Structure 1
Amino acid sequence: MTDNTIFYPPIDPSLEREEGRLLSFGDVEERLVEAMLVMRRMSDREAGWLRVKACWPDIVREDDRGDYDARGVDMTAPAPRPLPATRRDIAEMEEAFAWVLAAPDRDRRLIALAITCLANGAKAVPWMQLRKPMGVKLGAHGLRKRYGRAMHCVVIAANARICVGAACQTV
């Protein structure tokens, strides 16, 4: 009787990280920041209704100053709006936010506050400023440690899916 057991070589995590199969702490943090930026690009339908403005008063001439352009109105082009989120962007955003569910409930707010600071363009998370929203009087270092432990759970959840080619398998 033959043994059909296949022996695979041992897995080297550093090699897998270099090849892009494992996500590091920084990769997951960057992905969450990108997800936050995609979420900001999504339209808010209720706010859109609140900002409805008729165009007619802007076109009506109030006196005899001539053409609309000659009234002295600033005719510079408005700043371009960011492109709306695509289906792929939204799917990646939802996947990244689903990873956060692996963190303990009490630390999800801390992750959200830290990722929001990074998405606002901060080079590093201002831990002293996050003490008040988290309800902590002392211990910015403790918040940093809590964030590290919570993000470790998120990184494990992100790496729980091994993608081989087009098929993804859950470990």
Structure 2
Amino acid sequence: MTTSNFSNTAKMREAGDGFRTFDDLQEALVEAVTIYRRAFVRGAWPFAGDGPWHLFRHEAGDHGAYDAARMPKVPPSRAELGEMQQRLDWLRLVSDDDDRVLVVRAIEALANGASRVPWSRLVQAKARWRTADALSYRYRKVLAVLVKRVNRLEQDRRSGVVGGEFQSTVIG
């Protein structure tokens, strides 16, 4: 994807057409991973099944009653699970398996709280990925193509086009 395509996408986003940019898509995928972890990762629900948790209650004067680190994680709502599923389905639009693995690992690193993706660690994970700079370039290239495909998919949904990337046959 060339620089002019990025600027066109940014202009459309500023115009309020609802198109996603590179940063928007990356942020949405990171949010989907955090919702996934809240829902499905072991230990996400802090209450034991056999305890009398209906009797347990924090009072305002209790030690650590409002400490955010001690508060239990709230399971995601159905709306959040739907958004998560939609965003993770976008990864199906990445055609190459190695590219999909690259995107997932980079997004997981960002979801872990890293300010940037640790490319040197990711290079060590696969022998096929040669250098950190090449890996970073490949990630940006793959995500740029993904941005284009997601924007086209969302535009088709808004305009009422039946079919799209996920549906191969028209029913009706």
TM-score by length of structure 1 reads 0.68
Question: What are the ranges of 5 or more consecutive residues in structure 1 without an aligned counterpart?
Answer: 1-11, 57-74
Q: Deviations over 1:73-126 (max 9, x none)?
A: xx7658111211111111111111111111122211110110011111111111
- Of 17, 22, 31, 2:13 maps to 17
- What does 1:30-41 align with in structure 2 at a 5 Å threshold? 30-41=27-38
Q: Which has the higher strand share?
A: 1
Describe the shift of the 1:122–1:47 C-alpha distance in structure 2 as closer, same or farther (beyond 3 A). closer
Name the CA distance, whole Å, in 2 between partners of 1:127 and 1:119.
15
Q: Which amino acid aligns with 1:125?
A: V
Q: Deviations over 1:126-165 (max 9, x none)?
A: 111111223346311111111112112221222021288x
Describe the shift of the 1:150–1:137 C-alpha distance in structure 2 as closer, same or farther (beyond 3 A). closer
> What secondary structure, in the 3-state scheme, does the structure 1 residue paired with 2:160 have?
strand
- What does 1:121-140 align with in structure 2 at a 5 Å threshold? 121-136=113-128, 138-140=130-132
Task: Say whether 1:112 aligns with 2:112.
Answer: no
**Larger Rg, first or second structure (1 or 2):** 1
Name the CA distance, whole Å, in 1 between partners of 2:132 and 2:109.
15
Describe the shift of the 1:52–1:84 C-alpha distance in structure 2 as closer, same or farther (beyond 3 A). closer
Asked if the contact 2:30–2:108 (Cα under 8 Å) also holds between the matched residues in 1, the reply is yes
Greater RCO, CA 8 A, separation 6+: 1
Describe the shift of the 1:154–1:131 C-alpha distance in structure 2 as closer, same or farther (beyond 3 A). same
Work out the number of aligned pairs and report it.
139
Task: Say whether 1:101 aligns with 2:101.
Answer: no
* Partner of residue 162, structure 1: 155
Sequence identity percentage:
28
Question: What are the ranges of 5 or more consecutive residues in structure 2 without an aligned counterpart?
Answer: 1-7, 53-62, 165-172
Asked if the contact 1:110–1:134 (Cα under 8 Å) also holds between the matched residues in 2, the reply is no
* Partner of residue 25, structure 2: 28
Describe the shift of the 1:54–1:86 C-alpha distance in structure 2 as closer, same or farther (beyond 3 A). closer
Deviation of the 1:43 alpha carbon: 4.1
